[in-house]
Amino acid sequence: MGSVALHVMRALGFLMLLCCVASLVAIGAAPSKTDSGSETDALIPFRKGQAWGYSTRDRKLVIEPRFDLATRLEGGFARFRADGKWGMLDSLGRIIAKARYQEIHAFSDNRALVALDGRYGFIDRDGKLVIACKYEYALAFSEGLAAVRSDGSWRQIDTNDRRTSSASFELCASLRDGRAVIRSDGEFGYIDRSGTVIVEAQYDAAREFHDGLARVRKDGKWGCIDKQGRSVIPLEYDKVDLFRGDLARVRKDGLWGFIHKSGQVIVPARYQRADAFHEGLARVELDGLFGFIDTSGALAIPIIFQSAESFSEGLAAVYQDGPAYIDRSGDIVFRPQAICRSFSEGRAGVYRKGKYGYIDRDGTLVIPFQYDEIQPFHNGFAIVRQGDAFGFIDRMGRAVTAVKFTYARNFENGLAAILREKSTQPEHISGFIDRNGHEFWEAK
């Protein structure tokens, strides 16, 4: 299924990074909390041969396999493709929109973006086309408004297709935190939800607002402004990351530091590497060695390690005269007899003589060295590889399935998407398995 993101990439260039709604055909994507809150996955995509339908969790078919593709429920609705066209059904298996659209996307603000004959519009939760497919491009609704393009110009509309103002722009992004990025005469600025220009177009690049701040670039340097356009962080950095809490990483003259959202420099740019804070500490590199700083910028653990991972579950994997785990005080807790990774759900991957296993927080090997590659535990399970095949194990090392798949995704909401056949196409999911290893497909 094509997506608005693909069109915007062509038409918007840089702004696509700001405003695209990633509504791709995520067959194996996890359900997300949208209009309806928590997802229950009442229906599961079920594959039989090359056709898709839907079943209950006990594998009872609700819709006989007859579709080309089928997505998981998202916000109480799922999308399916039949004969190259897209439709939508609800969690009871009732088709609310017949397969007639070139594109159909998840609901946002009770509207789902659709495309018909190369034009974009919106349907409501009953499947009714409430905004005609008349726009050249459109983005999903956000904060009650959608950006649409008509006659080469962008503007905002509400859920009843009313323009918020007579103003139009070369480009317009989705509303975020009460502001939307616009481009005029090749430069970027911001409008509010009424369409009024709040920050005049003056920047080479602009990012969407988060928690009252937006990153902007001028003459190759980045800084941050508030929602009224006032400078909070001066335009002097080569890079400014998103704020995580009150702090953000900044890069200046090739070195990294941290800045507070008030504009106060917490850590001057002096490190060759600086990671985001994890559990109150950030890994930093200076002259080829690693240590950790706290959120005040003070050095919490000396820069003495040849390598180090970020803290996770109270421990960090480091290497100094051999692998070790340290606590937040920098004291060595134990030394595993193998190269070690970060902890996740009480397990950490370890590597020795070409094979991986897992240890617990005491350093005990609980899953033997037998895998060629492993992933961290996620929702109680880990993806492991032996040779070219993937499978799943639980925290005790018990196999949920045989190691037999060519591709696997993590469990989300009790289901994992897998690929049985070799394919370079991300939408070519073979089917789903549940936590008990039950397979939601039949070969024929």
Judge if 66 and 77 occupy the same domain.
Answer: yes
In a domain, 66, yes or no: yes
The angle subtended at Cα 385 by Cα 380 and Cα 389, nearest 5°, is 120
Domains identified in the chain, total number: 2
- Of 54, 57, 67, 126, give the one whose Cα is nearest residue 97: 126
Judge if 201 and 254 occupy the same domain.
Answer: yes
Full strand arrangement of the beta sheet holding 213-218: 205-206, 213-218, 221-226, 231-237
CA–CA distances in Å: residue 47 to residues 60, 63, 175: 12, 11, 38
pTM: 0.85
Determine how β-strand 231-237 pairs with β-strand 221-226: antiparallel
SS3 string, 278-330, reads ECCEEEEEECCEEEEEECCCCEEEEEEECEECCCECCEEEEECCCEEEECCCC
Judge if 194 and 154 occupy the same domain.
Answer: no
Judge if 99 and 212 occupy the same domain.
Answer: no
Q: For 47-84, what is each residue's pLDDT tens digit?
A: 998 899 999 999 999 999 999 999 999 999 999 999 99
Is the CB of residue 12 less than 8 Å from the CB of residue 407?
A: no
Q: For 364-409, what is each residue's pLDDT tens digit?
A: 999 999 999 999 999 999 999 999 999 999 999 999 999 999 989 9
In a domain, 307, yes or no: no
Judge if 163 and 184 occupy the same domain.
Answer: no
Of the residues 127, 157, 173, which one is the last residue of a structural domain?
A: 173
Of the residues 240, 271, 302, which one is the last residue of a structural domain?
A: 271
Of the residues 153, 173, 193, which one is the last residue of a structural domain?
A: 173
Judge if 198 and 254 occupy the same domain.
Answer: yes
In a domain, 413, yes or no: no
pLDDT at 130 over 50: yes
d(CA 346, CA 252): 37
Determine how β-strand 205-206 pairs with β-strand 69-70: unpaired
Judge if 11 and 127 occupy the same domain.
Answer: yes
pLDDT at 34 over 80: no
Q: For 183-210, what is each residue's pLDDT tens digit?
A: 999 999 999 999 999 999 999 999 999 9
Is the CB of residue 304 less than 8 Å from the CB of residue 318?
A: no
Judge if 164 and 196 occupy the same domain.
Answer: no
Tell me the HSE value of 408 on the side-chain side, using a 13 A CA sphere. 29
> What residues are paired with 169 via a beta bridge?
154
Is the CB of residue 330 less than 8 Å from the CB of residue 302?
A: yes
Q: What's the domain range around 214?
A: 176-271
At 230, which CATH number? 2.40.128.630
**Confidence at 430, pLDDT banded by 50, 70, 90:** confident
Full strand arrangement of the beta sheet holding 355-359: 339-344, 347-352, 355-359, 365-371
d(CA 189, CA 269): 28
